[in-house]
Amino acid sequence: MPDLSTDHSSATLEGAHSHGGPRYVSSRADRPISFDPADIPVPRGREEEWRFTPMKRFAPLFDLDTVRAATAAGEADADVAAVRIETDLPEGARLETVSRSDPRIGTVGAPVDRTGVIAWNAAETGTVLTVEAGVQLERAARLAIIGQDPELTRPAAQHILVAAESGSKGTVVLDHIGTAALTQGVEVTVADGAELTLVTVQGWEDAAVHASNHRVKVSGRGVLKHVVVSLGGDVRICPDLGFSGEGGHIDAYGVYFTDAGQHQEHRPYVAHTEPHCYSRVTYKGALQGEGAHAVWVGDCLIGQAARGTDTYELNRNLVLTEGAKADSVPNLEIENGNIEGAGHASATGRFDDQQLFYLRARGIPETEARRLVVLGFFNEIVAEIGVDEVEERLMAAIEKELELTGLIAVRTGQDPLAVPAAE
């Protein structure tokens, strides 16, 4: 990758430098990154990266010794593992368990926060899922990450690499269920000419705590669709998306439904360091219940070498009840004026009264009208997932959450996907 005068992008994507001690950083590109936990100390909650996060809930994932011991015990004996992996792989998808010293591991970039560097150092093995060169998967490859630590006494680490080789095309689903305290590193490589859809579903039980650092590199004219679905547990998902070579394409989608007492935090970052690359980031969430807290911090860097960049990021939040709070912070850093386009938008609000009036004026009862508005709000992203089972599960979960609000009555005996979205 070409060097930038600020050295922002090369630092983020390649781990070119690190900084010790907590400090204020004005740009996500200036975050301290390193494979060494000494370079990224335990945060105090006052740092820009952590100011929205409930520190007490995530604190067990900051302690390297504790996480390393629990992870090592689980690697030695599956019966005491905090999480286990079950697989469903089509032909052309290859799964391996490798040592962290495997040359494929750690090639995308260094961890970007405390939970990420703990995940790297605490896990001695990694799971590698490869979509083989020239293969078009007939169905999605699935990894079910199953938490089996309901008391949260064994905070664990995990490292996963998803690699789409040249000329391949397929979908990979990471499905998180059960209960655990898990810090996770996910590396994603998309080769020139490959097309990958990666869907990560956080369907945890309410007590779960999950931090995940996604580090992504799209090479050449590779294409990535990155989808984050958060439905349960306290989660903090940090996708770092970058390019290597000219002409890459990234679509990043997110859907979340934050329930009472839950914290769901998503921090997508796109680093445009190469010419003529394209990215779209679109996250939508709904919140209901006392203490529900959703956080979205979107960042995009357009480096000096990234001429012809076309990028946009969008976040929308729909607050369904009193007591719920959404924080939405879009950021755009431009170092190059020779671009196709760049922009961002963010909004948080309640039901659209005009949509409700339009539907009720046509004889639709208020509860049903509210239901249609919410489903229409999510429809844009749900339709982009492209995995029937995930779409059905998501819509069913949204229907259930709508019923819990008490504001919307859910119809029975009907396929949620058959309901048309509001215009």
Q: Where are the domains of the chain?
A: 8-350, 353-423
This prediction has a pTM of 0.88
152 phi and psi angles, rounded to 5 deg:
55, 40
pLDDT tens digits, one per residue of 240-270? 999 999 999 999 999 999 999 999 999 999 9
Structure tokens at 274: 């190469």
Q: What is the pLDDT of residue 412?
A: 43
Distance (Å, rounded) from C-alpha 393 to C-alpha 416?
Answer: 10
Distance (Å, rounded) from C-alpha 272 to C-alpha 218?
Answer: 11
Distance (Å, rounded) from C-alpha 173 to C-alpha 195?
Answer: 14
pLDDT tens digits, one per residue of 186-197? 999 999 999 999
Strand segments, DSSP code E, in 204-340 are: 209-219, 223-232, 234-244, 249-258, 263-266, 269-272, 278-287, 293-302, 310-319, 325-334
Q: What integer best gives the mean pLDDT of the chain?
A: 87
Strand segments, DSSP code E, in 303-359 are: 310-319, 325-334, 341-349
**Span 358-363, mean pLDDT?**
78
312 phi and psi angles, rounded to 5 deg:
-160, 145
73 phi and psi angles, rounded to 5 deg:
-65, -40
